[in-house]
Structure 1
Amino acid sequence: MKGLNQYLPKIGWGILLSWSVAVTAEAEINTASSDEAALSLFQQMGQALTQLSYNGIFTHEHSGNLDPIRITHQVINDVEANRFKHLTGSANAIVQRSDASLCAREDLSQQTLLPRTDDSLDSHYLLKLVGEDRVADRSVYIVNALPRDEFRYGYRLALDTETAMPLMMATISGNRMLERFQFIDFQPVTNTAEVVDELIEPKRDEVLLLGGCVQTADLAHWRLGWVPSGFQLISAKVTDSAEMLAFSDGMSRFSVFVSRVLGRKTLEGEARRGGTLVYLDKIVIAGEPYQVSIVGEVPKTTAQKVASAVIPLARR
């Protein structure tokens, strides 16, 4: 990723850190073109997130709290696994694992769960390379991703100049930072012999979370009549009592949970933790109430529209 300095503006760092929304009109954001350098960096970041193994410690800053977390991320033979351990509070760890070889790579256009869109990230975010800095004692490029509509948040990222891994990611609403993830130690792993066995077989007291597969959506009983443009179905889980459908636009992500209500009592309301919103609503189908929960990094107006767009599929 050398040679990007030609794209960097020669201005003071204090100005570079100012959030571009404050000085960029909405109409200009909607019509402006993203930097070629920023687009290239985001493509490299996507590869790094799914292909790079690393160890590190990052902080999660949200709602006045600062949580330090140790992470081990390994990608071996299509198996992607993370081990998260909070360094304050409870010492229990969470292991998150997904095995791409177990999921059929089907064409999502064959699914009937959402309106199909093929728009690129640039269609929904104005991507700008705005400067350089250091994070976790490593050189980084600073990139802003400004939303082109009201259905998603903006982001500021610090991308490692060597690996394109995001070493800092802040979620921005208007001029307010909702949360920030930032590495304070980051070590890429190039020797696959250093795989941590606990990621494959977690310890007894650790929580194991398995990723969903897209083809599971074929078993779902629900679909969305509307999603913000650019959001795609990325995984699904179907059980006897509940269903989960997860969507992403390449930056933001939200999940939709639908479950049958026991006792006919539903919950309604909202709660927020940093950039993550939990929005609770209900729908009534053939006189039966169902709980709908939207969880993700989206504004409340987006969650409300998604919740109202949940409709049942015709039973097969």
Structure 2
Amino acid sequence: MKWPARKFTVTALVVWLLAMAGPVRAEETAEEWLARLGPALNMTTYRGVMAYTRGDQVSAMRVAHRYQNGHVEERLVQLDGASGEFVRKGAEVICVLPDRGRVQLEPVMPSGPFAEAFANRLVPDNPWYRPELLGDDRVAGYPAKVLALNARDSRRYSYRLWLEYQSGLLLKSHVRSASGEVLESFQFTDLEITDTLPDSEFEVRGNGREIAALLASESGEPAVKPMPSGWQLGWMPEGFVPAAVPRVGRGPAMAFSDGLSAFSVFVEPVGGLNMPTGASRIGATTAYMHRLVANDEVYLVTVVGEIPPETAMQVAQSVTVGDTASVGVVQP
């Protein structure tokens, strides 16, 4: 008389396990999964808490994201350390800075869902990375597909991505060295993917000095600026081409990208200042500074980007200065 009940229990257990494993769908290629990531970044509505690890630095943030009437709205609140809040409505971004210190948006989330340029650059046919499906996993309670973007040489880093099964939303990511070391990681620790969020989720609530700015475009692809005159690169990794110049306060610069990884080059006269040289790295970001003497003038060449230290060093040491009078002058 006990057998039917036992049969029902086993059947229920099997059904529950299948449900926990996620929906059954036709197997997609790694390239097809990558193609879903860009639209999912903008068009998925969600809220949650994320953790971002960069070297030995760990940050926790609360995020809300809504796609409504063709526009993206986001709110990001830093949960530890100095408080900071960022609210985006379309192309307008409002930053609420804390009383002490300053929180900058770009360094906070280079690998996460707010890094719009990151997802936009994940083109499925990038020749410098080999996409590979690694299997299934779960992140923050959601079934995920795990992908690897393996660098085809040692001049750049590899990536590992966890994409939510239904929407394709990025739930977790790693930046990895050639040896497999995880240099940076991002992941949701709590997440709710939903159809809608109330307007109150996107109101500025923090106290502090507000700074408003406009994004160059909602696509995250600012225009490429011309090469600064007076200096040139003698070498760069294969596949890197001129890209958008970063917005920084160090003067004219030039940026290069292979479609996923990127680095910037700064060349500045330093006069008699004794500036530090060599490499430093935080997470996946390398800064390499090289002292260059040309025509009796001393210059500091700085290479900053998500590239290995050996690559940054070779780029910096290949810089030559021709017309010293025009260093830092951007060609028309």
Q: TM-score, normalised by structure 2?
A: 0.64
Q: What's the CA shift for 1:226?
A: 3.6
Of 280, 284, 299 in structure 2, the residue corresponding to residue 290 of structure 1 is 299
1:49 maps to 2:35: no
Whole-Å Cα distance in 2 between the matches of residues 73 and 304 of structure 1? Answer: 39
Residue-by-residue CA offset, 1:262-307 (whole Å, 9 max, x unaligned) = 5443321222222222222233444333322222221111111222
Whole-Å Cα distance in 1 between the matches of residues 225 and 133 of structure 2? Answer: 37
- Cα separation, partners in 2 of 1:96 and 1:218, compared to 1, 3 Å: farther
8 Å CA contact 2:61, 2:77 repeated in 1: yes
> Which entry has the higher C-alpha Rg, 1 or 2?
2
- Cα separation, partners in 2 of 1:263 and 1:85, compared to 1, 3 Å: farther
The gaps in structure 2 that reach 5 residues or longer are 1-22, 93-122
**Residue pairs, 1:276-315, within 5 angstroms:** 276-311=285-320
Whole-Å Cα distance in 1 between the matches of residues 55 and 301 of structure 2? Answer: 25
Q: What amino acid is aligned across from residue 183 of structure 2 in structure 1?
A: L
Q: What's the CA shift for 1:166?
A: 1.6
Of 143, 160, 171 in structure 2, the residue corresponding to residue 156 of structure 1 is 160
8 Å CA contact 1:131, 1:143 repeated in 2: yes
Of 107, 121, 136 in structure 1, the residue corresponding to residue 140 of structure 2 is 136
8 Å CA contact 2:285, 2:305 repeated in 1: yes
8 Å CA contact 2:174, 2:185 repeated in 1: yes
**Residue pairs, 1:157-196, within 5 angstroms:** 157-173=161-177, 174-188=179-193, 191=196, 194=199, 196=202
Of 218, 221, 226 in structure 1, the residue corresponding to residue 226 of structure 2 is 218
- Cα separation, partners in 2 of 1:254 and 1:240, compared to 1, 3 Å: closer
Whole-Å Cα distance in 1 between the matches of residues 271 and 173 of structure 2? Answer: 39
Q: What amino acid is aligned across from residue 129 of structure 2 in structure 1?
A: Y
Determine the structure 2 residue equivalent to 1:91.
83
8 Å CA contact 2:267, 2:300 repeated in 1: yes
**Residue pairs, 1:35-74, within 5 angstroms:** 37-49=29-41, 52=44, 54-73=46-65
- Partner SS, residue 228 of structure 1: coil
Q: What's the CA shift for 1:224?
A: 4.0
Whole-Å Cα distance in 1 between the matches of residues 160 and 212 of structure 2? Answer: 30
Q: What amino acid is aligned across from residue 144 of structure 1 in structure 2?
A: A
Whole-Å Cα distance in 1 between the matches of residues 299 and 71 of structure 2? Answer: 35
Whole-Å Cα distance in 2 between the matches of residues 94 and 203 of structure 1? Answer: 12
- Cα separation, partners in 2 of 1:120 and 1:96, compared to 1, 3 Å: same
Residue-by-residue CA offset, 1:179-236 (whole Å, 9 max, x unaligned) = 211111234575597483549xx97435667767744613733554443233344421
Q: What amino acid is aligned across from residue 88 of structure 1 in structure 2?
A: D
8 Å CA contact 2:34, 2:124 repeated in 1: no
252-261 vs 202-211, greater mean Cα deviation: 202-211
Determine the structure 1 residue equivalent to 2:14.
none
Q: What's the CA shift for 1:128?
A: 0.8
Residue-by-residue CA offset, 1:236-277 (whole Å, 9 max, x unaligned) = 157896123333334323233333325443321222222222
- Partner SS, residue 281 of structure 2: strand
Determine the structure 1 residue equivalent to 2:129.
125
**What percent of counterpart residues are identical?**
29
**Alpha-carbon RMSD:** 4.0
Whole-Å Cα distance in 1 between the matches of residues 81 and 164 of structure 2? Answer: 30
Determine the structure 1 residue equivalent to 2:111.
none
Residue-by-residue CA offset, 1:77-118 (whole Å, 9 max, x unaligned) = 998776543312211335689949xxxxxxxxxxxxxxxxxx
Q: What amino acid is aligned across from residue 281 of structure 1 in structure 2?
A: H
8 Å CA contact 1:241, 1:260 repeated in 2: no
Whole-Å Cα distance in 1 between the matches of residues 236 and 150 of structure 2? Answer: 19
Q: What amino acid is aligned across from residue 178 of structure 1 in structure 2?
A: L
Aligned length: 267
120-129 vs 148-157, greater mean Cα deviation: 120-129
1:146 maps to 2:150: yes
